[in-house]
Structure 1
Amino acid sequence: MVAESDRSPGLVSGVGRNRVPNRDRLYEIDALRIAAAVSVAIYHYVFSGYAGGAIRIGFPAGSELARFGYLGVDMFFLISGFVVLLSAWNRRPGAFLVSRIVRLYPAFWVAVTITALVSVTLSMGRYPVTLVQYLANLTMFNSLPDIPNIDVVYWTLWAEIRFYALVFVLAWIGITRSRVVGMLWGWLALTFLLQSGVLPAPAHSVADLVVQSQFSHYFIAGMALCLVYRFGLSAQLAAIVLISFGNAVYRGIEFAGKVGTRYRTEIESSVVVAVIVAIFIVLFLVSLRVTRRLGRPWFAVAGALTYPLYLIHAHVGFIVFDRLGGIVQRYVLLVGMVALMCLAAYVIHILVERPLAPLLKRLLTLAVRPDLRAAGWRRG
C-alpha cells in the first residue's frame, strides 16, 4: 500500500498551538506499515488462498489466526489519512500531485508487468491477462471502465487515489485546521447518509465514488489524528475520532460477515473488534507523540518494502505455491515465499523506486511549474 509520504513528516516541539513542523521521519509508522503488509501476505498465503481455491495446499495450524490478516488494510487506510494529510500540509497542490504520482507509479508499473508476465506464462490459464487489461491497469484507473484488476490486491489503490483526490482539492483551497475539521464533519455526514440507504441506487453509486462509505471512517479518523499530532487534542477532534471508531467497528463486523460467507467459515467478530481497537489505540498514541522514542532509523528500511511487497505478493505467490506445493514442504515453502517476496520488494525499491523517483519528480515538476520549466530551458 501507499500510506506514506515522500519523507514521513513529524514535528519538533513548539509553543502553544502553533508548533513548527519539520520533516522528521515517523519511524514508528514505518514499523506499523511493514507489519500490516506482512499480515496481508500471510492472510493470502495461509488462509484466503486455500479457502478461496487459489492455492491447493492448506495451513491448518495457522489459518485460525491468519484469517484476520486482512485487517492490515484497515490499518493502511488509517495511516494513509494521517500521513497523507501531514505530507500535503503547506504544499502547493501541484507539488502534492507530483509527490503522489512519484510515490505510486514506478513500483506499480513494474509490479503490474511482473504479475502479468507470470500470470500469462505460469498460471496455466488460471489468471488470464489481456493486453487491454494490462494497459488499463497501468493507469490505475481501470475501475472506471470496469476493467478487472490484474491482481486481487489492487482494489485498495483505487480507494487511495480517490482519497488523494479529496486531499488535492483541499490543498487547492488551502489546508487549514478549521477547513480540515469542516471537511471531516461533512464527510462523516455523507458517510452516514449513504449508509442509511435513503439514496436511489444510481445516485448512491455515484456519490460513493467520492465518499467511500465502506472505509471512509479510517481516512477521516487518520486525518483527525493528524490534526491532533499538529495542534493537540481537542473535544471536537476527539468526537470525530470516536464517531469514526464506532463506525469502523460497525462496518468491520459487517465486513467480517461477508469475508466469512465468501470463504464458508466464521470470522469471529470479537477478534475483529479487538484488532480495530488496537489499531486506533496505536495511531492515537502516535498522534500524541508517545511512540516517538520507540522509533528506530532502521524501521525506514523495512517500511520502504511495504508498497512493493503489497503489490507483488498475491497472484505471483499463488502461482509459485501451486507450482511447488507438491515438491517443497508446506511450511518451508511459506517461509521461503515470504522471504522471496520481501527480497523482490527490496530489489524493486533499490532498482526502480530509488533511481526513477527523482527523475520522474523532476520531469513532473517541470510540467506543473512553468517558471521552473523556463529556468530549465535557460540552463540548457
Structure 2
Amino acid sequence: MRQRLYEVDLLRIIAAVAVVVFHYTFSAWMQGLTPVKFPLAGEFSRYGYLGVDLFFVISGFVVLLSAWGRTPQQFVVSRIVRLYPAFWVAVTLTAVVSVVSGKFAVSLFQYLANLTMFNAAANVENIDVVYWTLWAELRFYLVVFVMALIGLTQRRVLLVLWGWLALTGLMELGVLPGAADLLLQTTFSHYFIAGMALGLIYRFGMSWELAAILILSYANAVYRGIGFAADVAERYKTDFHQWVIVGVIWAIFMIMLLVALKATSTLGRPWFSVAGSLTYPLYLVHAHIGFVVLAWLGPKVAPYAGMKWVLVVGLIAVMGVLAYAIHALVERPVAPPLKRVLNRIARIPERPAGQQPAQGGAPVSR
C-alpha cells in the first residue's frame, strides 16, 4: 500500500509560505510594486525564495517513489491529473486580475500558451513569475518518464544519478554545449538528484553510493546556490549573506535525510495532509494577484503604523482560503473523472475495487 508521509506535507506548506512571505515582505516593495515596506522583516524574509530549493528536493524524492510500480502511461496520467486542473484555474484568475487591474499586461496568445505549461519552450513569457518552476518540474518529469520506460530498479536509478551528476559537472566546466542545459538544468539538478537519492534511501536503505551522491549534490547545491543568490542580489540591488545560504541548504538536506531514514515518522499527523493539499494552489495564485492587492491597498495603509502587518497577514489568509477553494471545488471533484478519461485514452485498465496501487512510498509533490 502507498504510505503517505505527513511530515512531507508539513515541509511542503512551510516551503510555500516561505515563498509567499518572501514575495509579500521583500520582493513586492523592493520592486516598487507597493509603498508598504518591511526593511527589518526583509532582512530575514529575503531568504524565503529558498523554499523553492526545498520544493525541488521534495519533488525528486516523492515523484520517483510515486513512479515506482507504475507504467509510463500511468505516470503521465498521474502528473496531468495532479498539475493541470488547479493550474488552469490559477492561470485564468491571474490573467483576469492582471488585465482588470492594469498592473500586468497579458495577451490572449500569452494566456493560451500558458495554459499548456510549455510556454517557456516557445519563449512565451509566464503570466505569473512563479510559473518558471513548473517548467523545471516538467523537464524533471521527462527524466523520470524515460526511467519508467526503461524500468525502475535501484541499480538503474543509481546509474542515472551518477550520469546526471557527471553531466552537471561537465556542463559547469563548459565542456558541453549550452543547449544541453535545457534538459540537464544544472542550476537545480543537484536538488532533483539528491531527492531521488533520498527516495532510494527511503526504499532500500543507506549505502556508500547514495551517501556519496548526497555529499556531491550538497557541494554543488552550495556552489550554485551562492551563485544564484548573487544573481538575486543583483536583481534587487541588495546583499545576501553566504553563510545563511549555506546553512539553509544544509538544513534542507539534513531534514530530508531524516525523512528518508524514517526518523521523522512519529512526527507526522494526518491533518498535515490538509495543509499539504493547499501548497500547490497557494503557490500558483499568490504572487501577481497578491502584488495587485498590495499595490491597491498599500497607499491606504502606509500612513498607519502596524497596519501593514494586518494587510500582509490578511492577504496570506485570503490566499489560503482561495487555495482551499481551488482544492475543494476544482482539484478534488475534477481529478477522478479526468483520470478516468485519460486512462481510457491511454488504454490503462481500471483497477479492481479494493486493489491498492504498487508501493510508491509518498504522496506526489505539486
Superposition TM-score tier, normalisation by shorter sequence? over 0.9
Instruction: Choose which of 39, 46, 66 in structure 1 pairs with 2:25.
Output: 46
Among 32, 40, 52, which residue is 1:73 paired with? 52
3-state SS of the aligned residue for 2:325? helix
**1:1-380 to 2 correspondences below 5 Å:** 22-122=1-101, 124=102, 126-199=103-176, 203-205=177-179, 207-328=180-301, 329-369=307-347
State the AA in 2 paired with 1:364: L
Instruction: Give TM-score scaled by structure 2 length.
Output: 0.93
CA deviations over 1:18-63 (Å, ceiling 9, x no partner): xxxx311100000000000000000000011111223332112310
Q: What is the match of residue 358 of structure 2?
A: none
Amino acid at match of 1:363: V
Match of 2:330, SS? helix
Contact 2:343-2:349 within 8 A present in 1 as well: no
Contact 2:34 2:299 in 1 (8 A): no
CA-atom RMSD in angstroms: 0.9
Deviations 1:191-239 (A, max 9, x none): 011111233xxx312x111101000000000000100000000000000
CA distance in 1, matches of 2:47, 2:62: 24
Deviation at 1:145, TM superposition (A): 1.0
Residues of 2 paired with 1:55 and 1:217: CA distance? 35
Please give the alpha-carbon distance, in whole angstroms, between the structure 2 residues aligned to 1:34 and 1:307.
Answer: 9
* TM-score, length basis structure 1: 0.90
Q: Note the C-alpha offset of 1:370.
A: 6.4
Distance 2:229 2:10 in 1: 25
Aligned to 2:362: none
SS in 1 for 2:120: coil
Where do 5+ consecutive residues of structure 2 fail to align? 302-306, 351-366
Letter in 2 for 1:204: G
Query: Which range is displaced more, 305-314 or 253-262?
Result: 253-262
For residues 131-168 of structure 1, give each alpha carbon's deviation from its aligned partner in whole angstroms, at most 9, with x where no partner exists. 00000000000011100000000000000000001101
Aligned equivalents of 1:337, 1:370: Cα separation in 2: 43
Letter of the structure 2 residue corresponding to residue 276 of structure 1:
I
How many Å separate the matches in 2 of 1:91 and 1:161? 18
Cα distance in structure 2, aligned partners of 1:308 and 1:237: 33
Higher RCO (CA < 8 A, seq sep 6+): 2
- Name the residue aligned to 1:6: none
Contact 2:95 2:106 in 1 (8 A): yes
Which amino acid counterpart does residue 42 of structure 2 have in structure 1? S
Q: Distance in 1 between matches of 2:198 and 2:220?
A: 16
Does the aligned pair in 1 maintain the 2:73–2:348 contact within 8 Å? no
Q: Which amino acid aligns with 1:179?
A: R
Misfit runs of 4+, over 6 Å:
none
The one-letter amino acid paired with 1:359 is P
Identity rate of aligned residues, in percent?
61
Alpha-carbon offset, residue 371 of structure 1: 5.7
Alpha-carbon spacing, 1:322–1:371, altered in 2? closer, same or farther (3 Å): closer
SS in structure 2 opposite 1:56? Answer: coil
212-221 vs 253-262, which moves further: 253-262
Secondary structure (helix, strand or coil) at the match of 1:23 reads: coil
